[in-house]
Amino acid sequence: MKIYNTLSKQKEEFVPLEEGKVKMYVCGPTVYNLIHIGNARPMIVFDTVRRYMEYKGLEVNYVSNFTDVDDKIIKKAQEEGVESEVISERYIAECKKDMEGLNVRPATTHPKATREIDGMLDMISDLIDKGHAYGAADGTVYFRTRSFRGYGKLSHKNLDDLRGGNRSLLVSGEDQKEDPLDFVLWKPRKAGEPAWHSPWCDGRPGWHIECSVMSKRYLGDEIDIHAGGEDLVFPHHENEIAQSEAANGKPFARYWMHNAFLNIDNKKMSKSAGNFFTVRDISEKYDLQVLRFFMLSAHYRSPLNFSAELMEAASNGLERILTAAEKLRELQEKAKADDLTQQERHQLQEAATYMKKYEAAMEDDFNTADAIAAMFEFVKFTNIHANESSSHEYLTALRKQLQTMADICGLILEKKEELLDARIEQLIAERQAARKEKNFARADEIRNELLSQGILLEDTREGVKWKRA
Ligand code: AMP
Ligand code: ZN
């Protein structure tokens, strides 16, 4: 399995620290609003990385945080006249709903920054003791960038240029820094802001220290993969490396993965630019599976432009896959022959080549675009080579392969309506059982419940039939 590592700017063979296990940290969203579909890109792509690794038999410890203390959260709380926590908890719950719709599995752990303050105080004290951080007169604590030799290794930036450029960015109060590249580990409280006690002042942590500490707490000093959107390379991830390596004296993450932006009119989608759609907006028009499929139809390191036409194309593409899955299911249910014929045996060998292609694409830095292309080739194959005379065993094998391909991408093969159908059948069976037991009250209750959802039942000699009103 090859992963493009931002640190080396190369694809490298993935070798986990501990055989068979993967420690992975993905920077999560700042929760002050509904997430937009740009935020959904890292969620979807790294969930797919996790799924593929699990398919390969690796055990993945997947940690993704919620940044629940931040200027934007505080501002929103002040606007609404509530505590910051009301805002962050509200949008964590909303984010989890969106993740569920996108079939993004919950992380092994979803730490929240505000619950990890003790760890942050420990790491900051440690950095001060080791000469990597210093406190200013007003109680702010800064990381001493010059003290960390590897600073700049992830973003491959020329630090002198950065220093020159940053000088113009200095705002009042920042002149207490020793170096323009020094960054905040702890900052004093302002009126009305959430704050915690510390040896330096009552205040709150800087953003970067949060991730260093949560990664250490849940995964240890050294981890396999650290991931996020490419805007996080500098300064966020560069600063995380400086903090973690200076404090722990060990290499922090071995592989750094970054997804490219989701753009709109070739500009990064972002809240501040106002050119965004929330996941919730999209869910009003499409099943969120379509959004997931759209995201995976491009390689994660390629910029992806969002448009109505491309979403329509994704919707049609996904429909082709779902229709093929449905056809296979129907054929399998009706199959007359049980066992494989000689010819089917050969055809299954051909079918396996599409799975190999799919895997080869995923092995090559998770190229989901090519993996999906292999999935389409396989769908075409099943459309040609599966029919009424196919055996049960053959159809079972084809269904299983399509299911595996879909599972790795986190796509659900059942059409929404079918799920509903299954529920109706279940209620009808329950009603029949109630009638058998002469529990007519329950039977009527079920009939009325179905009626309220527009489902009409008809008792016929062949059994119960139903239709939508
Ligand atoms: P934020 O809430 O801004 O910290 O972002 C959460 C995650 O979404 C980070 O990994 C960002 O890099 C990522 N992200 C934000 N905007 C986009 C975008 N337009 N395209 C892709 N990823 C994004
Ligand atoms: Zn982070």
Which is the closest atom of ligand 1 to the Cα of 27? Answer: 10
Percent of the chain whose predicted confidence (pLDDT) is above 70: 97
Residue 330: count other Cβ atoms within 10 Å of its Cβ.
12
C-alpha 212 – ligand 2 centre gap (Å): 8
Counted residue by residue, the chain has a size of: 469
Task: State the amino acid at position 277 in one-letter form.
Answer: F
pTM: 0.89
CA distance 235 to 159: 12
| Closest ligand 1 atom, residue 263 Cα | 19
271 Cα: distance to centroid of ligand 2 (angstroms): 18
Which ligand is the nearest neighbour of the Cα of 37?
1
Q: Is the pLDDT of residue 449 over 90?
A: no
- What residue's CA is closest to ligand 1, atom 4? 29
**Bridge partner residues of 258 (DSSP):** 228
Ligand 1 binding residues, C-beta < 6 A:
27, 29-30, 38-39, 41-42, 228-229, 231-232, 259, 261-262, 268-270
Q: How close is the Cα of 239 to the center of ligand 2, in Å?
A: 10
Atom of ligand 1 minimally distant from the CA of 30: 2
Residue to mutate (ligand 1; options 26, 32, 34, 39; most atoms within 8 A of CB) = 39
- Over residues 184-209, the mean pLDDT reads 96
Whole-angstrom distance, CA of residue 99 vs CA of residue 106: 8
pLDDT in tens, 210-239: 999 999 999 999 999 999 999 999 999 999
CA of 284 to the centre of ligand 1 (A): 22
User: Residue 371: pLDDT band by 50, 70, 90 thresholds?
Assistant: very high
Whether the CB-CB separation of 210 and 65 falls below 8 Å is answered with yes
Distance 457 CA to ligand 2 centre (A): 54
Cα 256 to Cα 12, 183, 391, distances in angstroms: 11, 21, 47
Asked whether 366 and 300 are in contact (CB, 8 A), the reply is: yes
Closest C-alpha residue for ligand 1 atom 2: 29
pLDDT for position 356: 98
Centroid of ligand 1 to alpha carbon of 166 (angstroms): 23
Ligand 2: centre distance to CA 228 (Å): 8
How far is it, in rounded angstroms, from Cα 178 to Cα 166?
Answer: 13
DSSP secondary structure, 139-204, as one string: S-EEE-GGG-TTTTTTTT--HHHHHHHHHTT--TTGGG-SSTT-EEEEEE--TTS--B--SS-SEE
- Please state, for a pLDDT cut of 90, what percent of the chain lies above it: 84
In the block, tokens 């059994």 appear at 463
Question: Residues 182-208: what's their mean pLDDT?
Answer: 96
Q: In sequence order, which residues have a C-beta less than 8 Å from that of residue 312 and are 6 or more positions away? A: none
pLDDT for residue 460: 87
In the predicted structure, residue 168 carries a pLDDT above the cut 60: no
Residues 74-90 have a mean pLDDT of: 96
Ligand nearest to the Cα of 39, by number = 1
Ligand 1 atom 5 nearest Cα: 29
* pLDDT bracket for residue 415 (50, 70, 90): confident
Average pLDDT value for the chain: 94
Helices 207-219, 238-248: crossing angle, 10 deg rounding: 50
Indicate the residue type of 297.
S
Assigned token pair, 299: 């390689």
The model's pLDDT over 97-156, given as tens digits with 9 standing for 90+, comes to 999 999 999 999 999 999 999 999 999 999 999 999 999 999 999 999 999 999 999 999
The encoded tokens of residue 21 equal 């296990």
CA atoms within 13 A on the CB side of 299: 13
- Backbone phi and psi for residue 174, each to the nearest 5 degrees, phi listed first: -80, -10
